[in-house]
Structure 1
Amino acid sequence: MSSTMLKTMKREWDKMIREKMIFIVILFIPFLVNILIGFEFSKNQIQNISMAIYDQDNSSLSRMIAQQFAENEIFHVNYYIDNSEQMKQLFDESHIRVGMIIPKNFSKDVAELKSPTIMMIYDGSHMSIASTAKSKASEILLTLKTGILIKLIEGKLSLPADVAEKMALSIKFSNRMLYNPAKSFKNFLNPGFSTAIVQTAIVLMGAVAIRTEEIEGGKRNRIGYYLGKALFYSIMGGISLIMSIWIQSNIFDIPFRGQMREAILLSFVLSMAVAVFSLTISVWVKHEMLATQINAVLFIPNTIMVGYTWPLIAMPKPYQILGRLFPFYRYADNLRDMFLKGSSLSHMMKDIQWLIIYIAFVSFVGLLGMIFFRKTETEELGKEMEAIVLS
């Protein structure tokens, strides 16, 4: 069995060197996509969000507020308009994602403590842009509001500036963002996205890895053949995953606070879980195209299905149950925690144990297919040959 396993691994290695397809799909394409993803999110945050301002007051105060937005890197104020109809048209045609309307007599109403309202409008068709814009706009307006309030207290009550400031800030609120203080999309998304690409490569190659013409001998040889394939694709996938981690950490400066040896262990366990599943599908579904499609449907949308981009707790209960059955669920959040929190092996041990049980169960199902279904196929072929000879 062991000799068959080693022979199978050598055959796959020779094929990779000769035909290059395994190398291209499992190593080169993930490398290239990692580079592209890294550059895509290199700015960390969404910037230059197109914005229009409708200033009906045109006072020194309203112009100062507009200037604060114009000078902030998150916004690109490229429209100063004269009416609300023009604002609507700009939104309808997707020329802007954010709008601000400053009402008439704004400065006068502020001075008279009438609490005028600045209207902020966001394009909800693009939620990530709207969320970023709303967060930054609230920050700017809150800072301005505090400054204006201090000036009003100072002027109305004829108080010193420091006393006015203490009155305005009698209750303070502070926020602290742990682990990702820059609110970087790159830090949040890239580790899992790069993993998903490697995972897809493993399942696509594994779906066509079992070839009837390569299977020789009896039950022990069949077991060795399956295990050889599983080990080869697990190693290649694990190497690709570690390469992805290195690229994101060292080239694109995503902080990696965990231990690399623990990341290597977690990555190889995931790679084996994905490899044995794709090989098992290849064993039981003899049509290569159908096996590839099944693997693709199950694994390609994993970043969404397991809650990496949209949290699992926000999904319906059946989706939550289904999402936890995928190996990627046990890997992606743990990897992100290793990057950003420096999580240790003890933090992820339950997930590693789950993956090991998953590997054992799926491998058992795959080996059953190798032993019985492929054996039955050979026996039927032998009977057909015998019938031909006798006739």
Structure 2
Amino acid sequence: MNLSVIWKLFKKEAELVQNDHSVLLALLVAPLLYFLLMGSTYINKDEEQVSVGIVDLDQTKSSKAFLNKVNATQKIAITKTYTNFLEAKCGLNEFEIQGIINIPNGFEKKLKKNESSPIGLILINTKFLSSNDINKAVNLVAIDYALEARQKFFESKGINPSFAKQKANPITAQVNAVYNPTNNYGNFLLPALLILILHQTLLIGLSESVSSDRKNGLMTIGFEESKNNVINYIFGKTGFYLILYTAYMLLTYFVVFPFFDLPIKGSIFSLIIVSILFLFTTLLYGWFVTSFFKSQVRAMEVMAFTSYPIFLITGITWSVSEMPLFLQFISNLIPLKPFFTFLKKVTIMGVDSNLYYEEIIHLLILLLIGYIATFLRLNYLKKQRMTLKSVIK
């Protein structure tokens, strides 16, 4: 490894990026634009005051008190009142509301008799997060309201209030939500989206550069300038991207995360080191794949259109163990998979370092695979160029 040769290749790559507008756009403009767009979309991180309609056929003090308690919850806002269910269903179909609370006639009478009084809850599950919020809030209010009603019933039988409360609710569940106690979607999704933006713009920018080298015959010059040393060529070519995206990572962790109030509960040092490891692994994978293309457009298309399927099989949106075996195998070959798991453990969970060694080892294995594949591919291209050059002479 020759540092002076690597530095020369590093400066040459920086000049190439500066002079190629398409590469410059992918590397400098796209990450910042996507950060702004994605961050603004999920800036609130959680949906509050979900619109709900009501059909109160009982129109009693008890039904109104129940609905007032529902409306007082953080997640729900009663925005529409309907006279009958058909009218409410029309509002549901027109997306005026995300759900309907239907209180039947005789609700109060059954409560006073300590009888079961079911409440109708109709939800639009096309927005499953909103429907889950409504379902959870209404059920919690229903449990509290039922407990209060049973307690009053026992008190009416002459039982003292403390014993009546115990008798009304003999079994209590103590739920302690850890890591994401507010259960908000932003803390879960935003870190992964920010990393995905960096991952894809890095691959697109690198792919345009490598394919341009192949198309214009600059790879031969690169081999010559690296003194036909593939290791010099790898570090010289990737050095610029590694430093640039390490700076983006630092910007993400120290500026973007605090701006969106995203947690980093674990070791920031470990986070930075493993992020650099992830970036270098991604660079090697990207270079290997792109080295088969001579067209910038074709290389960019491949990198751009594989982003969403790759994201889906990394385990961030669905458990990898529930996928078909061949997808599990492919998932384990993608650097994003162990890095997303590591990111979750360090940022949201803040676990001890011994609990994410497996992800670091996984990344190191993928780094080795990527390095060997890229080394062999570039060595092959170097020999091919030398053979072609000797034939021409």
Superposition TM-score, scaled by structure 2 size: 0.89
Greater alpha carbon shift after TM alignment, 110-119 vs 57-66: 110-119
Partners in 2 of 1:255 and 1:72 — Cα distance?
25
In the TM superposition, 1:1-391 aligns within 5 A as 2=2, 3-17=4-18, 24-155=25-156, 157-210=157-210, 211-212=213-214, 213-214=217-218, 215-216=220-221, 217=224, 220-377=228-385, 379-380=387-388, 383=391
Partners in 2 of 1:36 and 1:287 — Cα distance?
29
Partner SS state of residue 77, structure 1? strand
Q: Is the 8 A contact 2:345 2:356 kept in 1?
A: no
Partners in 1 of 2:155 and 2:27 — Cα distance?
67
Partner SS state of residue 100, structure 1? strand
Deviations 1:282-336 (A, max 9, x none): 2223333222222233334433221112222333333333222210011112112
Deviations 1:117-155 (A, max 9, x none): 001111011212112221222222211121122112212
Partners in 2 of 1:15 and 1:256 — Cα distance?
36
Partner SS state of residue 57, structure 1? coil
Partners in 1 of 2:252 and 2:121 — Cα distance?
41
Partners in 1 of 2:100 and 2:127 — Cα distance?
14
Structure 2 vs 1, CA of residues 289 and 22 (structure 1 numbering), >3 Å: closer, same or farther?
Answer: closer
Structure 2 vs 1, CA of residues 242 and 302 (structure 1 numbering), >3 Å: closer, same or farther?
Answer: farther
Partners in 2 of 1:139 and 1:302 — Cα distance?
38
Partners in 2 of 1:275 and 1:251 — Cα distance?
28
Amino acid at match of 1:339: T
Partner SS state of residue 159, structure 1? coil
Partners in 1 of 2:132 and 2:378 — Cα distance?
51
Q: Is the 8 A contact 2:228 2:382 kept in 1?
A: no
Amino acid at match of 1:134: N
Q: Is the 8 A contact 1:200 1:300 kept in 2?
A: no
Q: Is the 8 A contact 2:320 2:328 kept in 1?
A: yes
Partners in 2 of 1:334 and 1:58 — Cα distance?
53
Unaligned runs of 5+ in 1: 387-391
Q: Is the 8 A contact 1:330 1:351 kept in 2?
A: yes
Greater alpha carbon shift after TM alignment, 217-226 vs 8-17: 217-226
Partners in 2 of 1:269 and 1:186 — Cα distance?
26
Report the alpha carbon displacement of residue 32 of structure 1 after superposing the two structures with TM. 4.0
Q: Is the 8 A contact 2:52 2:78 kept in 1?
A: yes
Partner SS state of residue 306, structure 2? helix
Partners in 1 of 2:352 and 2:208 — Cα distance?
36
Report the alpha carbon displacement of residue 382 of structure 1 after superposing the two structures with TM. 6.0
Partners in 2 of 1:304 and 1:114 — Cα distance?
48
Across the two proteins, how many residue pairs are aligned to each other?
384
Q: Aligned Cα RMSD in Å? A: 2.3
Partners in 1 of 2:323 and 2:133 — Cα distance?
23
Report the alpha carbon displacement of residue 346 of structure 1 after superposing the two structures with TM. 2.8
